[in-house]
Structure 1
C-alpha cells in the first residue's frame, strides 16, 4: 500500500506541474481564435495512417479498395490503398461536384431522391475509377495514388500536433466539391449557389453576409492574413475578398494583410480576436497538388510555432483544417439530409456530357481537422458531433464563434452544425511543445 500511495502522489504532482486549474467559463479562457485552412486532402489520405491512438477511424482498421471500373462488380476490389502516397501527387484528382458523385456513388448521376429517402448510400468506391477516367489511364499504380495514404513519419509535423492536441476524425467538408464553395461555407455558412471556382470569387462577387462583416458589426477585431495572389486570373483570392461587403466597406484595405504581418503580430502579441489565414495555392504551402507534402508541413510548423510562442498563446484557440478532400479517397460516407446554406441549387455538366443538379443537402468528404490550445486535452480523438447540433463540418467553426461571442446565426447550416466548445477544459496545460519536428526528408 505504501508503494501505491507513492506512485499516486508522484502522478498527481506530475499532473499539477503540467496543468493549472481554472474553473471559469470557456469564454473567459478563449480571447483569440486562429483559423488556418489548408487545401485538398481527405482524412484517410492524410491522417488515415496515424497510429498513436487505436481510436482513430483511419485505414489501419480498414482494407480499403476501389475498382478501375466501378461499373463492373467483379472488379470492386482490384486496387487497394497502401502507405505509399508520394510527396508530390503525380495528378490532381477531379473534385468537381459531378466528379465527386462518381467517387462517392460510382456514378455521376445518383438518384438524389433515393439518397434523401435513405434508400441509397455512398459506397465510397469510385475514386480510382474517376481517376482512371480523368487521366485516361489503365495504370493501376498511377490511379491508386488517389487512395494511397501517408505514414506517421511522412506527416510527422501533423502527427506531432495531433498527438498533443485534439484530432477530429469525423469532420466533413461542407460541399462535396471544390475549394471556393467550401471556403464560402467556412466563412459565411453558404456558397450562395456557387458549386465551382467561378469568377465571382475573384471580384468580390458574393452578396451574402460573412463572418468578417458579422465580426465588424459586433466590434470584434479580425484580420485575414494571406499569401495568395489576388484578382481574376492571378490565383486564389483570400477568403475575405469573396464578399461584396469587404469591398464596399473598405475592409479590403484595412483587414487583409500579407502573411509576413501575421508572424510579426503573433510575435508582438498583437493578433486580433479572429485571425484567418490563407496559404499560397497551389505550389508550395497548401498541400494542393502539385504542392509537396514536405513544404506544406513546413508551413504549418511555422504557423503553429508562431501561435504557440506568441504572448497570446494562453488565450488562444487554433483550428487547422482542410477546405475539401481534393478528390482523394476516404472510406466514410458523408452525411446527407443536412440543411443547405440557402435554397439555391447548382447545375454543371458531368464528364459523360449530361447535367447534374446539386441542392447542397449533402456534406463533403471527411477532412483532417485539429483543435489546438493549451486548454484542450492531449491526444484526444473527437468522434461524431451531435452533442451540440448535427455533425462536425466547416460551419462548426461559425457555430462555435457564435457561441463564443454571442453572435446571431448566419444560416440554417450553421444552426445544424455541432459546436466544439465542450472540448475546452478547466486545465491550462504547460506541456505543449514550443517547437515541432522537421518535415520528413524525402530528398
Structure 2
C-alpha cells in the first residue's frame, strides 16, 4: 500500500470544495476508547509502512539514554525493537518523574523563555529515572523503558494505522499520570490535580465536563466501562448531582448490545479494564489489549451505525516509556491552578500546567477518513498541536456545542481534526482485524 502523506491544507480545501454532504451528515456517532500508559515510540516505534512517520525506525539515528545524565559519554542504552508482550515493570510517570525523563532533572528552570525550556527538553532521562525507581544499575532491566515493540507484536494496531489515520504528534495534556490526563480528555482541565488522588473516585472535580456539555446541548452519551476503577464521567460532581450515574454510566456489556442493536448514543466513551487484561497498562499484556481493541472495532464495524461512525483511539499518557520528541511548552493553564509534589530528591516541585506530556499513540477510524493517512501538526487551534483536548475541540465543532465555544483555554489551544473527515465514503473498510499475536 502506498501511504498517503497528509497535506492538511489540501484536505481542508477538498472538504470545503465538496458540498454534497456536511460533517454532521457524515459523522453522527463518535466512539472514544482511551487505552493506558504507552508512549508513541514504545508502541509505534517500529512501524515500517511509511518513512513519513516520525518514529524510531525512521529517525535516521539511534535514540539512546545515558545511565547517568551527568555523564552523557558514559554507559548508555540505545533503543531497540525488543520490547516484550508484557512489560516487567511499570515505569514512574509522576509529574516529577516525568520532569526527570524529559529534562534530566526533577526541577527544570521554567522561568526562562519558552524556547529555552523547549531546548532543555533533551529526552535523555528515561533510563536513569528507571534506575532510580528500581534502585538498580542493571541497565538491561532499566533499559526496558527505552526499548520499543516490534511491529509483529501489534498486528491489530499496525493494521488500523495502515488502513486509517495515525497521528504522530499527539501529546498528553499533562506530563504526569493517568487520571489528570483523563480529566483533560473529558473536561480540558484537571482542577489542579497532578496525581491519581481520591478526588477522582469521589466525584470531587467541580468543573464542567464534556458529559455535562453534551447533555446541555441535547446530545446523547454513555460512558461504558470495564473497570473496577471509577469511569471517567464519575470524576465530576455534576454526574452525581444530576443522577447521570444511573442513566449514563453503563457496563461494557451494554456497549456490545447497543452496537449490535444499532442503539449507540451519539457519543460513546469507553473505559477499559485496568490493569491486567485490556488497557495495556503494565502488567496488562499487549496481545490482550489488542484483542480488546479488535472486539470494539469489530462490534462497531458489524453494527448498523458504522456508516456514520468516527472511532477515536488514544492512550492517556506515556506510562514512563521513552519517546524522542520533546513536548510543546508555553501552553495555557486552563484554570489558573497549580500542583505541588515532593520529588525523589526530597525537594518540592510546583507544576504550572503550562507544558504538555509525552507523545502517545492516537488513531482516527471511520469510513469517512482516508487510508494510510499520517497526520503531523494540526491546522487550527491557537497551538496548531494535537493534545487530548483535541477531542473536546472536535466534538464542539461537530455538534456546535455552546455555539462552538471551547470548554477551556486548553481546548481552544488544541487543534481539532474535522479536516480529516472527507466527503468520500469508503466501502473497503475491513470487516475484521488480524488476530493478536
Q: Same fold (TM over 0.5)?
A: yes
C-alpha deviations, 1:124-163, integer Å up to 9, x for none? 0100000000001111111111011111111110000111
1:31 aligns with one of 28, 32, 50: 28
CA contact (8 A) 1:26 1:421 kept: yes
Tell me what 2:6 maps to: none
Tell me what 2:11 maps to: none
2:198 counterpart of 1:199: yes
Tell me what 2:67 maps to: 68
Q: Distance in 2 between matches of 1:227 and 1:341?
A: 30
**Deviation larger for 106-115 or 373-382:** 106-115
CA contact (8 A) 1:22 1:428 kept: no
2:97 counterpart of 1:104: no
2:305 counterpart of 1:312: yes
Tell me what 1:43 maps to: 40
Q: Distance in 2 between matches of 1:228 and 1:300?
A: 15
**Deviation larger for 136-145 or 363-372:** 136-145
> 3-state DSSP class of the match of 2:124?
coil
Q: Write the mapping of 1:179-218 to structure 2, written as runs, cut at 5 A.
A: 179-218=178-217
Tell me what 2:3 maps to: none
2:394 counterpart of 1:405: no
> 3-state DSSP class of the match of 2:153?
coil
How far 1:115 moved relative to its partner? 5.5
Q: Distance in 2 between matches of 1:35 and 1:406?
A: 18
Q: Distance in 1 between matches of 2:248 and 2:216?
A: 14
Q: Distance in 1 between matches of 2:160 and 2:269?
A: 19
Tell me what 2:358 maps to: 365
Q: Distance in 2 between matches of 1:388 and 1:363?
A: 15
How far 1:114 moved relative to its partner? 2.2
Equivalenced residues, count: 413
**Deviation larger for 116-125 or 197-206:** 116-125
2:236 counterpart of 1:243: yes
Q: Write the mapping of 1:183-332 to structure 2, written as runs, cut at 5 A.
A: 183-229=182-228, 236-332=229-325
The structure that has the greater radius of gyration is: 1
- Give the TM-score normalised by the residue count of structure 1: 0.92
Q: Distance in 1 between matches of 2:113 and 2:41?
A: 23
2:422 aligns with one of 413, 422, 425: 425
Q: Distance in 1 between matches of 2:82 and 2:378?
A: 31
Tell me what 1:395 maps to: 389
- Shift of the 22–265 alpha-carbon distance from structure 1 to 2, 3 Å rule, reads farther
Q: Distance in 2 between matches of 1:301 and 1:73?
A: 42
Tell me what 1:345 maps to: 338
Tell me what 1:7 maps to: none
CA contact (8 A) 1:227 1:279 kept: yes
Tell me what 1:436 maps to: 433
How far 1:340 moved relative to its partner? 1.6
2:147 counterpart of 1:153: no
CA contact (8 A) 1:190 1:341 kept: yes
CA contact (8 A) 2:177 2:194 kept: yes
RMSD, aligned α-carbons:
1.2
Q: Distance in 2 between matches of 1:434 and 1:73?
A: 49
Q: Distance in 2 between matches of 1:429 and 1:121?
A: 44
Tell me what 1:91 maps to: 89
Which ranges of structure 1 fall in alignment gaps of 5 or more residues?
1-20, 230-235
Q: Distance in 1 between matches of 2:238 and 2:115?
A: 38
Q: Distance in 2 between matches of 1:115 and 1:348?
A: 24
2:371 aligns with one of 375, 378, 382: 378
Tell me what 2:139 maps to: 140
CA contact (8 A) 2:381 2:412 kept: no
**Deviation larger for 303-312 or 22-31:** 22-31
Q: Distance in 1 between matches of 2:116 and 2:147?
A: 30
CA contact (8 A) 1:389 1:419 kept: no
**Deviation larger for 345-354 or 59-68:** 59-68
Q: Distance in 2 between matches of 1:39 and 1:341?
A: 24
2:111 counterpart of 1:113: yes
CA contact (8 A) 1:115 1:121 kept: no
How far 1:426 moved relative to its partner? 1.2
Q: Distance in 1 between matches of 2:293 and 2:72?
A: 41
Q: Distance in 2 between matches of 1:352 and 1:386?
A: 41
Tell me what 1:170 maps to: 169
